[in-house]
Each structure stands twice: as structure tokens, then as C-alpha cells.
Amino acid sequence: MRWEGTVRCWLAWKRRSRANRVLFVAALSLAAFVTGAFTWSTLNPAPGDFMRYFAFYWVWGVCAIGLLLGLAEYKTSPLRKKQERGHLFILLYIGALLIVTRALNAVLYYS
């Protein structure tokens, strides 16, 4: 099976309800935003810059909201109901992102 078929099967887009699709896209979008923001901050650090530290602390909070949306997506997921594999990937990714970004914020910007 090609990777496109694997991704299409994992998404199960036709089996998802409208609310589940919205939660899925919202959680994924917030995860992408947080990943992009902390990738940029890692490449352009500014040690001791309190305003940037505070801004990325806020971005870390956005990641926590993404985790809540991911939990809601999991609860309404058709993949969970049929015990299919791969449905916890978003929660695993956002949970790891929450831990890593907090550590990065502390290391890169706390003086």
C-alpha cells in the first residue's frame, strides 16, 4: 500500500462527523503553529528577552488548548470506536510538543 493510501485510511475523512473534522483540523493547525513558532525561536534565540519569553509562554498556552482540542477529537473519533491504530498520534505529538516547548522556552529565554 502506498503512503497516500495509508494517510487516507488513517484520516478516515468520510467516516468522521463534521464536529470531529473541525476538531481534528483545529488541533492539527494549533500544533503546526506551535511547531513553527518554536522552530523559529530555536533558530533565532534571544537569551534574556523577557517579552519574547512571555510571548512564547503564551504560545505554550496555545499548545495546551491544542491538547484539549485533540482530546475532544479523540473522544468523538470514529477510529476510537472501531479500535483502529494511529488515532492517538495527534495526542502523542501535541503532548510531546507541550513538554518540549516548555523546556525550550525555559532554556532559550529565561535569564
Tell me, yes or no, whether 62 lies in a domain.
yes
Residue ranges making up the domain that contains 71: 20-109
Say if CB 38 and CB 104 are below 8 A apart. yes
Model confidence at 83, pLDDT cuts 50, 70, 90, reads: low
Q: What is the pTM of this model?
A: 0.81
Give tens-digit pLDDT for 1-55: 576 677 777 777 778 889 888 998 999 999 999 999 999 988 988 888 888 888 8
pLDDT of residue 111: 57
CA 20 to mean position of chain CA atoms: 16
Tell me, yes or no, whether 5 lies in a domain.
no
pLDDT of residue 62: 92
Tell me, yes or no, whether 24 lies in a domain.
yes
Residues near 76 by Cβ (< 8 Å), separated by ≥ 6? 17, 19, 20, 23
Q: How many domains does the chain have?
A: 1
Tell me, yes or no, whether 10 lies in a domain.
no
Q: What does the angle CA 19 – CA 21 – CA 27 come to, to the nearest 5 degrees?
A: 100
